[in-house]
């Protein structure tokens, strides 16, 4: 029970990696609050986990909107008390053309994939500072280091997540709060499936270069995040852990 007595907040917890984070943290003894824009999916998942005897709470929030995040956070605190750990997971892909992308699209995308990390931090840090304890894990991506053509400006947002992780790690360390990033490689989720549907040739090409001959299960990302949220990782701070089966070690 790595997370006994903890209250973990997971964003984008209704599906994919986020759903695995909710499950793993709850199985490790935490009370887990999660938010999502997918209300139906979030409620169904909450029901499923409650039926298993796990301590979970779902509420709607669009992480790009601070007022949404703030009111969801208030409900979570009312349910389980102060948040002691956060997994900033909600994110979307981007496939824009730099010429035709509009200001609105730019702001909307960066609101979800980058600004959201600041939104949750703004909500949870006061109580964490007061408690002199806390852990935040931000889901970045291997795209922060190397990316694909046609993915504009996803790599920029995910690089920003790692930069924000370093800023927060240095500034909050004095309060006993650790902030780290996890950069997954190919992970079998609805997001990845939708990309493969758009680019079928990429699926076979991606499989061919996997050093372990397969892509990650969501639970394999969740285990790393749970570790980083737990006291077992008490001296890990400001790090970006690549969890990509070795893909980043490959030149071509
Ligand atoms: N799947 C991969 O291969 C992969 C690899 C590297 C990084 N990532 C990152 O991991 C994270 C999770 O990805 P995934 O593959 O599980 O995606 P997914 O699309 O399968 O699930 C994402 C969840 O976030 C929710 N969400 C989207 N926008 C939201 C918003 N504005 N507010 C609240 N919730 C929102 C969705 O409804 C969904 O439930 C993302 O940040 C993604 O960039 C994924």
Residue 87: which residues within 8 A CB-CB, separation 6 or more? 8, 9, 10, 11, 18, 21, 25, 137, 139, 225, 229
Q: Name the domain count of the chain.
A: 1
Q: Does residue 214 belong to any structural domain of this protein?
A: no
CA 29 – ligand 1 centroid, Å: 24
Strand segments, DSSP code E, in the chain are 7-11, 31-36, 56-60, 85-88, 134-139, 177-184, 240-243
Looking at residue 195, what is its pLDDT?
A: 83
Q: How confident is the model at residue 7 (pLDDT cuts 50, 70, 90)?
A: very high
CA 143 – ligand 1 centroid, Å: 14
87 lines ligand 1 (CB under 6 A): no
For 128, the enclosing helix (H) or strand (E) is: helix 116-131
Q: Does residue 200 belong to any structural domain of this protein?
A: no
Active site residue 154: yes
Q: Does residue 91 belong to any structural domain of this protein?
A: yes
188 lines ligand 1 (CB under 6 A): no
The dihedral sign for the CA sequence 41, 44, 9, 78: positive
| Tokens matching residue 16 | 């994919």
In contact, 156 and 225? CB cutoff 8 Å: no
Looking at residue 194, what is its pLDDT?
A: 85
Q: What CATH number does the domain containing 103 carry?
A: 3.40.50.720
Q: Does residue 240 belong to any structural domain of this protein?
A: yes
pTM listed for this prediction: 0.97
Range of the domain at 21: 7-187+219-244
Please state the atom number of ligand 1 nearest to the C-alpha of residue 111: 31
Q: Does residue 199 belong to any structural domain of this protein?
A: no
CA 40 – ligand 1 centroid, Å: 16
CA 193 – ligand 1 centroid, Å: 12
| Mean of per-residue pLDDT scores for the chain | 97
Q: Does residue 204 belong to any structural domain of this protein?
A: no
Residue for token pair 């030149």: 251
Residue 105: which residues within 8 A CB-CB, separation 6 or more? 96
Q: How confident is the model at residue 178 (pLDDT cuts 50, 70, 90)?
A: very high
Looking at residue 200, what is its pLDDT?
A: 85
> Per-residue pLDDT tens for 56-102?
999 999 999 999 999 999 999 999 999 999 999 999 999 999 999 99
- Chain centroid, CA 222 distance in Å: 10
Looking at residue 109, what is its pLDDT?
A: 98
- What is the rounded CA–CA span in Å between residue 117 and residue 164? 8
Q: Does residue 100 belong to any structural domain of this protein?
A: yes
6 lines ligand 1 (CB under 6 A): no
The arithmetic mean of pLDDT across residues 109-124, rounded, is 98
Count how many residues are written for the chain: 252
Looking at residue 193, what is its pLDDT?
A: 86
Angle at 155 between CA 152 and CA 157, to 5 degrees: 100
> Per-residue pLDDT tens for 36-49?
999 999 999 999 99
90 lines ligand 1 (CB under 6 A): yes
Q: Does residue 36 belong to any structural domain of this protein?
A: yes
């Amino acid at each position: 029970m790595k997370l006994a007595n903890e209250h973990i907040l997971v964003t984008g917890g209704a599906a994919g990696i986020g759903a695995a984070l909710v499950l793993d943290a709850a199985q490790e003894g935490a009370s887990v609050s999660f938010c999502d824009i997918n209300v139906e999916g979030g409620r169904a998942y909450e029901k499923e986990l409650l039926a298993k005897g796990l301590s979970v709470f779902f509420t709607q929030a669009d992480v790009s909107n601070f007022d949404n995040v703030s009111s969801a956070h208030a409900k979570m605190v009312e349910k389980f008390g102060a948040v002691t750990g956060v997994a900033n997971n909600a994110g979307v892909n981007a496939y824009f053309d730099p010429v035709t992308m509009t200001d609105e699209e730019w702001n909307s995308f960066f609101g979800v994939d980058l600004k959201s990390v600041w939104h949750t931090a703004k909500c949870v840090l006061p109580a964490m500072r007061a408690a002199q304890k806390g852990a935040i894990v931000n889901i970045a991506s291997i795209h922060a280091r190397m990316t694909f053509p046609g993915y504009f400006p996803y790599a920029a947002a995910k690089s920003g997540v790692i930069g924000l992780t370093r800023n927060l790690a240095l500034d909050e360390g004095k309060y006993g709060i650790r902030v780290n990033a996890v950069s997954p490689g190919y992970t079998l989720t609805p997001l990845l499936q939708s990309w493969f549907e758009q680019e079928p040739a990429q699926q076979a090409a991606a499989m061919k270069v996997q050093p372990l001959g397969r892509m990650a299960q969501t639970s394999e990302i969740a285990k790393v995040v749970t570790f980083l949220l737990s006291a077992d990782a008490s001296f890990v701070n400001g790090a970006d852990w690549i969890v990509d089966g070795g893909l980043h070690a490959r030149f071509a």
